[in-house]
Amino acid sequence: MALFSGLSAFPITPMTSEGEVIAPDLQRLVQRIEAGGADSIGLFGSTGTYMFLSRDQRRRAVAAAVEAVASIPIIVGVGAIRTDEVQALARDAAAEGASGLLLAPVSYTPLTEEEVFQHFLAVASATDLPLCIYSNPGTTNFTFRPELVARLAVIPTVAAIKLPLPASGDIASDLAAFRQAAPSLSIGYSGDWGCKAALLAGADCWYSVAAGLFPEQAAALAAAAIRGDYEEANRCEAAFAGLWDLFRAHGSLRLIYAVANMLGLTEASPPKPLLGPDEGLTASLRKALPL
The pLDDT of residue 69: 97
Q: Which domain holds residue 192?
A: 6-228
Q: Is residue 270 part of a domain?
A: no
Per-block average pLDDT, block size 10, for the chain (291 residues)?
Answer: 90 93 97 98 96 95 97 97 98 98 96 98 98 96 97 98 96 97 97 96 97 98 97 97 96 96 96 94 96 80
Give the span between the Cα atoms of 207 and 266, in whole angstroms: 22
pTM of structure: 0.96
The answer to the question of residue 278 being in a domain is no
Residue 265 covered by a domain: no
Q: Is residue 251 part of a domain?
A: no
Amino acid, res. 204: D
Q: What is the CATH number of the domain that holds 28?
A: 3.20.20.70
**Does residue 171 lie within any of the structural domains?**
yes
Considering its fold, how many domains does the chain have in total? 1
Domain assignment present for residue 44? The answer is yes
Task: Report yes or no on 250 lying in a domain.
Answer: no
Burial degree of 172 (CB within 10 A; 0-12, 13-18, 19+) = middle
Cα–Cα distances in angstroms (integers) from residue 282 to residues 52, 65, 130, 194, 224, in the given order:
24, 29, 39, 23, 30
Q: What are the pLDDT digits (tens) for 192-251?
A: 999 999 999 999 999 999 999 999 999 999 999 999 999 999 999 999 999 999 999 999
pLDDT the model gives residue 2: 78
Map residue 63 onto helix, strand or coil: helix
Residue 239, pLDDT score = 96
pLDDT for 219 equals 98
Residue 175 lies in a domain: yes
